[in-house]
Amino acid sequence: MTILLSIKPKYVEELLKSSKKSIFKKYDKNELVFIYSSYQVKRIVGTFSVGDIIENCPKILWN
């Protein structure tokens, strides 16, 4: 399945610079995700494939 992920521009910048490497969403491994930068950019700015999937409670994941 292909996914369109709408993200605010300030977070898109972090993703593209690789300073933000995690997204808490439910995807399957190797799915193709298109990154859509929302208002004011309003366009697809990149893609990535889902890598490792780590499952646990949020408190442990944030640590």
Percent of the chain at pLDDT > 70 equals: 89
Digit-coded pLDDT (tens) for 42-52: 999 998 888 88
Nearest to 14 by CA among 40, 43, 35, 42: 35
8-21 in b/e form (b: 16+ CB < 10 A) is eeeebeebeeeeee
Domain chopping of the chain, boundaries: 2-62
Query: Is this structure's pTM higher than 0.85?
Result: no
Instruction: Give 56's DSSP letter.
Output: S
CATH code, residues 2-62 = 2.30.130
Q: Tens of pLDDT along the chain (63 residues)?
A: 788 989 999 888 888 887 666 666 777 788 898 999 999 999 999 988 888 888 888 888 777
Q: How far apart are CA 53 and CA 51, in angstroms?
A: 6
The whole-angstrom distance between residue 44's C-alpha and the CA centroid of its chain comes to 13
